[in-house]
Amino acid sequence: MSKPVVVVTRRWPNAVEERLMDVFDARLNDDDHPFSPQELVDAIKTADALMPTVTDKISADIIGTAGRKARIIGNFGVGFNNIDIDAAKKHGVVVTNTPEVLTDCTADIAMILLLSVARRIGEGERHLRGGQWTGWRPTHMMGQKVSGKTLGLIGYGRIAQAMARRALGFGMTLIYYDPYVDAAKLDKSVPATAVSSIDEVLAQADFVSLHCPSTPETRHLINSESFAKMKPTAFLINTARGDIVDESALIAALREDVIQGAGLDVYEKEPKVPADLLKMNNVVLLPHLGSASTQTREAMGMRVLTNVEAFFAGKTPPDRVV
Ligand code: DGY
């Protein structure tokens, strides 16, 4: 029996590509170039499954392409805001994602950003490498203490709860706001207090960390009014999606000392990072590294395979979102 044809839009870890070639008639992207919209259309017209990543915009036009052959989109990523879900529903295209396997690594990066921005890690490293360090002195590069501070989580799903567990090790007080929280899936061992509004998180937290999906409802959820409600000593941490934050408002808030700093892994127009942010010392900037460990990226790829294999075996893919 012939194997299903699958198109993979970027290079995946070797171990996963090897398995892909065993299981499917896989068309790989050997030079790892970003697919153009036309290449996505060609793929969806000629393959049985499309395996994009979070940077491939799978629009309604692409899903609605006349003569589309692909019946499943196995997204390499937990966030699926890159895919027009309404169009997928309309055209009966199954969409899957890769939850759970990236929870720990993404929470690690959120905690790294929190620690780094509070304790001026990036700035300190640049200072030393730039040959500016003249020696220890009592007032040199004083940052903010983390232990005992309040961490406010906006969105309290898997990654937020994993970050909360890490923050407990730093003796932090935990509060969260999540109107969609699934009580059955809450980690009851974490003493986090639910508050009834985002404003309460903004007003009380020393660190505000974002963990909600990117949807029309959450676009620019954090804006100039939000920054005005935060403590002037507070920090914003974003490992979720760039468009949850109004980036221009963030730049103004940082420049005018409305808040003290920010740790960012995601941006509104990736891979573009505003020049203003690049010049600021009170921000730590990472290139969307949340899930970027060998183990996690392999697990994400294997998760895509499990979903797509299940689909072609006539079963419901375990991580079906549509
Ligand atoms: C995701 O999976 O949604 C991340 O942003 C990439 O790891």
Domain ranges for the chain: 5-101+294-312, 103-285
Q: What confidence category does residue 151 fall into, taking pLDDT thresholds of 50, 70 and 90? A: very high
Under CATH, to which class is 103-285 assigned? alpha beta
The overall average pLDDT reported for the chain is: 98
Q: Give the sign of the dihedral formed by CA 151, CA 154, CA 156, CA 161.
A: negative
Quick one: pLDDT at residue 1?
Answer: 79
Q: What confidence category does residue 115 fall into, taking pLDDT thresholds of 50, 70 and 90? A: very high
Residue bearing tokens 């419901």: 316
Strands (E), 71-199: 72-74, 94-96, 150-154, 173-177, 192-194
The residue among 300, 318, 284, 309 whose CA lies nearest residue 75 is 300
Output DSSP code: residue 189: T
Q: What confidence category does residue 128 fall into, taking pLDDT thresholds of 50, 70 and 90? A: very high
Q: What confidence category does residue 102 fall into, taking pLDDT thresholds of 50, 70 and 90? A: very high
Residue nearest to atom 4 of ligand 1 (CA): 77
Q: Which of ligand 1's atoms lies nearest the C-alpha of 266?
A: 5
Judge whether 5-101+294-312 and 103-285 match in fold: yes
Compute the distance from residue 106 Cα to the ligand 1 centre, in Å. Answer: 8
Whole-angstrom Cα distance, residue 156 to residue 194? 9
**Is 74's C-beta closer than 6 angstroms to any atom of ligand 1?**
no
Structure tokens at 66: 């006349």
Share of residues in the chain with pLDDT > 70 (%):
100
Report yes or no: 47 and 27 within 8 Å, Cβ to Cβ: yes
241 is catalytic: yes
Spatial strand order of the sheet with 49-51 comes to 25-27, 5-8, 49-51, 72-74, 94-96
Under CATH, to which class is 5-101+294-312 assigned? alpha beta
Q: What confidence category does residue 260 fall into, taking pLDDT thresholds of 50, 70 and 90? A: very high
pTM: predicted TM-score of the whole model, two decimal places? 0.97
- How many Cα atoms sit within 13 Å of 19 on the Cβ side? 15
CA 294 to chain CA mean position, Å:
17
Report yes or no: 170 and 116 within 8 Å, Cβ to Cβ: no
